[in-house]
Structure 1
Amino acid sequence: MTIPLVVTMTSSSHIYPKLHNAAWPGLVGKGGDGEPPIELETLLDLTASAKVDGIRFDGIDLFVFDPHVDIDSSEEQIQALAEKVAARGLVVGTLVAPVWPPTGGGSAMGEQAERDQFLQQVEKTCRIAADLRSLGVRPYGCIRIDSASSPSLWTEDPDNNQRQIADTFRRACDIAEKHGERLAAEGEICWGGMHSWRRMVELLEMVDRPQTLGFQADMAHTLLYLLGHNAPEDALLETDHDWQNIELFYAKYQELTDALRPWTIDFHVAQNDATVFGSGSHDKTGRHCLPDDPSGKLDIPKAAGYWLRDRTGKLTKACQHICWDGCMFPNEIMLNPATWNNVLASMISVRDAHGWSVDG
C-alpha cells in the first residue's frame, strides 16, 4: 500500500496535529568539554519567532532536567515556567522524564534501588506535567520514557531483563494513571529491550497497558530499526541497503509501521542519514540531520504518512501534536533563526499532507 499524499485542504484549514519544537536539543550533547547548553528562554524565543507563510509553532516539548526544568521544581517555579511559555503564545506538550542514572534515575532492569530511582523520576515528571496541565498551558502530550539500559547489558540475560523492564514500566503506568498522564516509550536502538522493532512490540505487549503506555515514534530513530544495527536478527533491510531502491524501502517501512503504528501515541518529525555512532557492537544510535540535509534518507511528509495513516490511508488522529526532534547540532546552527524556519516548513509539509480540521 502506498500512503496517499493528496492534500485536500490548505494548511490554514488544518488545525491538527499541532506543531511543536523540542527544547532538549539545547541540552543533549552540550556542557562538559563541549559547547554550553542553550538556555530554555532562548529556545522559547527562537520557537516563538519562527514563521512560514504566516504559520508559527504552536508549542514546545520539554526535557525535565537542569538548566531547563528542575525536576524538584517548587509550585512557584512551575508557575514561572508556565508564564514563560504562555507569554510567547506557546503551550507545552510531551515532557521527557530523566530516567537515566547520570540524571538521578536508574536502570529499568537494574537492582531494586535502581528501579525505584527510575520510578521516582517518572513520579516527579508526572507531577510537573499535571501541574502544567492544571495551569492551562499543557492541553495534550505524554511523558516520554525508555529503559535507561544498554542493549549490551540486556543481552546478558534477555528473558529476565525484558521481564524486569516490563514490570518497571507497569509500575510506571500506575504512577502515570494517578496523575492522569500517559507514557510514551521511545523507540531507539540504543535502549536495551527496545533496541529492535520486534522487541519493542514484545515489551509493549508484555506491559499490556495500552490505555497508559504507548509508543513514541521518532522518524530518525525508527529508520534504524530497519537496519538492525543492534539486533541483526530483526533487520528488515541490509545494512548496505541501496537507498535508490525506494520500492523495497517502503515495502519494509510498511512492515515496520504496521507493527508499531497501533501503539503510537507520540510522534517526532525528523531526518536521518542512516549512519550510526556509539561504543561497542550493540550500543549504537543514529544521527539526526536537518530536514534539508542532502544525505537524509527520508522523504519526510511521505514517510510520516506511514505513521499517521493506517493501511487504508485513513488518518489515525492518535497524536494531537507532532514535535520536531534534532539533536547534536552545533550551537551556531541552533541559534540561527533560519534553522527553525526550515524546521517549521518541514513540519508544515507533514500537516499539509496528513492534518485535519477541528471538525474533522
Structure 2
Amino acid sequence: MSATHSKPRLHNAMWPGIVGKGPDSTEPFIDLDTMLDLTAQAEVNGQQFDGVDLFMSAPHTSIDSTDDDLKVLAHKLQSRGLVCGSFVAPVWAPTGGGSAMGNEMEVRKFLEQVRKACVIGRKMTALGVRPSGVIRIDSATGTGDWYKDPKGNTDKIAKTFCEAANIAEAEGQRLAAEGEICWAGMHGWDHMLRLLEKVNKPKTVGFQADMAHTMLYTLGYNSPESRIVAEGCATPEEIMTALKKVTKALRPWTFDFHVAQNDGTVKGQGSHDKTGRHCPPDDPNGLMDIVKVAGLWMRDDNGVPTRAFEHICWDGCMFPNDVMTDPQTWNKVLKVMIDVRDAHGWN
C-alpha cells in the first residue's frame, strides 16, 4: 500500500538501547547495530522507517568520534537504507558534561559537549546521511536545586543556553530543549516557556516535544503549580483538552517532535531519574489517542499542517529489553508512525 504522504520522514530513536540500561540497571545495553537492524527490518505494507535519531554517547556513538569513526557510522546507516536526524548531546556530568546552572567549570563542560555534538552533526550532514535534525539539550540538573531560587536558576540556565546557541550557530546547527519533567527549569510547561522566552533565540533554540513527557506537563508532576488537569481527573478527554493549552503555548517554539504513548505514571530505571513512562503504542493503559494528540503538535490552531518537522521520531525509552528485541514491537511502532504521517503529513 502506497503512503498517503511522503513527509515527514519516520525515524526511530536509538537511545532506548542505552538509557536506563547498563551496569547500574537490571538490563544490559542494546548495541547500536542491533537497534539499527531492528529498525531497518520493520515493515508495514511495504513501508519502512526512513531513519534514526542518535545518542552521541558510548556505547553507541562516542562524543569524541574521529572522522574515520563517523565514516563507519555513515556506512552503517547507508547499508541499511537509513539516514540520521537529531542527536542527543551528552551534557550531563556522568557523561562528561555539567549542570547548565552550575559553576563556571560545570557550564564549560556542558558547552563543550554541545560543541562536540554540533561538530558531529555538521560532519554527518557533509557525509550525506543527515538531511535534517537538531541537537537536543536539557539543563543537566534535577529540579530540587532549582526550587531554591527559581528565577535566579532559570536566568543561569538561559545564559548557558544563549552561549550554547552561539556555538550551534557557528556550526550551522539548531538546539532543541527537551521538555521532560526531570530537568530543572524545564519540568513544567510554563517554566519551559519562560526559559525559551528568556533565551529569546527562536531561530536557534527551540523546544523538543515528546508526547510521553508533555502529557505529564498537564498533570503537574514535579511542578504542581503547573498542573492543568485536576487531580483524579486524568481521563483521555481531560488530557486532550489540557494538551490544547500546552501545545498552543509551546508549538511555535517546537523544532523536534517525538511520537510516544504514556499511561500517566512516571518511571525511573538505572541512573535515569523518574520521568514520563513510555508505553508501547497498543498499551491498553495508554491515555492518549496517539494520532489525535500528534495532530496538536503537527497542525496549527486552524488545523493546517505546519510542516515544521522534516522528520518525526518514535521514542520507546526504557522499554524492557525483551520488548525492544521483539521485531513485532517495531512493526507496531511503524504502523502508528505511518498513521500519524497519513493524518498530518504532506507531499
2:151 paired with 1:135: no
Equivalences for residues 39-118 of structure 1 within 5 A? 39-118=31-110
Cα offset for 1:218?
A: 0.2
**TM-score scaled by length of structure 1:** 0.93
2:147 paired with 1:155: yes
On the 8 A contact 1:11/1:352 being kept in 2, the answer is no
Q: What SS is found at the alignment partner of 2:278? A: strand
Partner of 2:13: 22
**Unpaired runs of at least 5, structure 2:** none
Q: What SS is found at the alignment partner of 2:275? A: strand
Task: Specify whether residues 326 and 239 from structure 1 end up closer, same or farther in structure 2 by C-alpha distance, changes over 3 A only.
Answer: farther
Q: What SS is found at the alignment partner of 2:265? A: strand
Partner of 2:276: 286
Cα offset for 1:242?
A: 4.3
2:295 paired with 1:273: no
Equivalences for residues 115-264 of structure 1 within 5 A? 115-243=107-235, 246=237, 248-264=238-254
**Unpaired runs of at least 5, structure 1:** 1-9
Cα offset for 1:250?
A: 2.5
Partner of 2:308: 318
Identity level (%): 58
Q: What SS is found at the alignment partner of 1:289? A: coil
Cα offset for 1:284?
A: 4.3
Letter in 1 for 2:105: A
Letter in 1 for 2:255: I
Structure 2 distance, partners of 1:49, 1:229, is 37
Cα offset for 1:273?
A: 0.3
Equivalences for residues 288-303 of structure 1 within 5 A? 288-303=278-293
2:298 paired with 1:308: yes
Cα offset for 1:11?
A: 5.7
CA RMSD of aligned residues (A): 1.3
Structure 2 distance, partners of 1:239, 1:86, is 48
**TM-score scaled by length of structure 2:** 0.97
Task: Specify whether residues 170 and 46 from structure 1 end up closer, same or farther in structure 2 by C-alpha distance, changes over 3 A only.
Answer: same
Partner of 1:12: 3
Letter in 2 for 1:286: G
Structure 1 distance, partners of 2:9, 2:71, is 23
Runs of 4+ in 1 over 4 A off after TM superposition: none
2:325 paired with 1:340: no
Cα offset for 1:150?
A: 0.8
Cα offset for 1:172?
A: 0.4
